[in-house]
């Protein structure tokens, strides 16, 4: 039995080369409280979609607050990522950059994740050529 609602180690974006490529050549769009960077296809060395979450130390001085936001964001993504799996056979990398000065509730982050994933699904359908 395969678990579909997991977020394993291989699904976390950790490669410095891929992260650098994502932020330098990837496309982006804004969905409050996140800026979303993404690349579609291109890399043949990975066999799954990868994601990362980043929260600025400038806004949240305490690591416990940054980790809390990252946990909430990963959970919201984990529950909804199955929506994206059937849309394309290309693999993607996506980064969520939290850009708010206060800690959002899980409901607010979940609503933002719904917006992000629906917009990203449209971009996957279009081939990822447009960014808003």
In this prediction, residue 57 carries a pLDDT of 94
* Residue burial 106-127, b: 16+ Cβ < 10 Å; e: rest: eeebbebbeebbebbeebbeee
Q: According to DSSP H, which parts of the chain are helical?
A: 16-25, 63-80, 82-85, 106-126
CATH number of 9-126: 3.30.230.10
Q: What is the pTM of this model?
A: 0.84
Q: Where are the domains of the chain?
A: 9-126
- Convert the pLDDT of each residue in 37-73 to its tens digit: 998 876 555 567 888 999 999 999 999 999 999 999 9
Q: What is the pLDDT of residues 81-119, one digit of tens each?
A: 877 776 666 788 899 999 999 999 999 999 999 999 889
pLDDT band of 74, cuts 50, 70, 90: very high
Structure tokens at 79: 């529950």
């Amino acid at each position: 039995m395969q678990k579909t609602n997991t977020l394993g180690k291989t699904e976390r974006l950790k490669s410095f080369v891929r992260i650098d490529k994502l932020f330098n050549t990837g496309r982006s769009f804004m969905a409050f409280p996140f800026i979303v960077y993404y690349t579609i296809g291109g890399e043949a060395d990975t066999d799954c979609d990868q994601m990362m979450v980043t929260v600025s130390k400038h806004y949240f001085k305490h690591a416990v607050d940054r980790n809390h936001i990252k946990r909430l964001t990963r959970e919201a993504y984990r529950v909804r990522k199955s929506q994206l799996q059937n849309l394309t056979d290309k693999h993607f990398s996506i980064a969520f950059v939290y850009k708010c000065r206060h800690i959002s509730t899980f409901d607010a982050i979940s609503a933002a994740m719904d917006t992000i994933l629906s917009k990203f699904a449209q971009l996957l359908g279009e081939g990822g050529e447009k960014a808003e």
